[in-house]
Amino acid sequence: MKPSELISLRNQLLRVNTTTAKDSLLAPHHTLSILLAAYPDDEDCKWIDQLFGKTNHNLTLIDSVLDKRIEEIEEEICEQSVKFIMEDNKHWTQHNVRFKTAEYNREFQKLPITNEAAASVRSRIGFYTDWRFAGLEIGPGDGAWTQDLVACDPLYLIDYNDECLTTTKNQFSEKYRNRLRCYTNRGEGLHMLPQDQFGFVFSWNTFNYFSFNQIGDYLKEIWKVLRPGGGCMFSYNNAERPLCAQRAEDHLMSYIPKSILVDMIEGYGFEQIKTQDVDSTISWVEFRKPGTLQTARTGQTLGKIILTPHVEA
Average pLDDT on 60-78 reads 86
What proportion of the chain, given as a percentage, has pLDDT over 90?
Answer: 54
pTM of the model: 0.81
Query: What's residue 227's pLDDT?
Result: 97
Helix ranges (H only) for the chain are 3-14, 18-25, 27-38, 43-99, 102-108, 115-128, 162-169, 174-177, 212-225, 242-249, 258-267
Phi, psi angle pair for 135, to nearest 5°: -125, 155
Name the residue among 48, 200, 187, 195 with its Cα closest to residue 135: 200
Instruction: Evaluate if residue 44 carries a pLDDT over 80.
Output: no
Query: What's residue 313's pLDDT?
Result: 41
> Per-residue confidence at 302, pLDDT binned at 50, 70, 90?
low
109-152 tens-digit pLDDT:
889 999 999 999 999 999 999 999 999 999 999 999 999 999 99
Instruction: Evaluate if residue 69 carries a pLDDT over 70.
Output: yes
Query: What's residue 311's pLDDT?
Result: 47
Do the Cβ atoms of 89 and 213 come closer than 8 Å? Answer: yes
Query: What's residue 304's pLDDT?
Result: 52
Query: What's residue 23's pLDDT?
Result: 63
Q: Who wins on pLDDT, 174 or 203? A: 203
Q: What is the mean pLDDT of the chain?
A: 86
Instruction: Evaluate if residue 81 carries a pLDDT over 80.
Output: yes
236-271 tens-digit pLDDT:
999 999 999 999 999 899 999 999 999 999 999 999
Q: Who wins on pLDDT, 27 or 213? A: 213
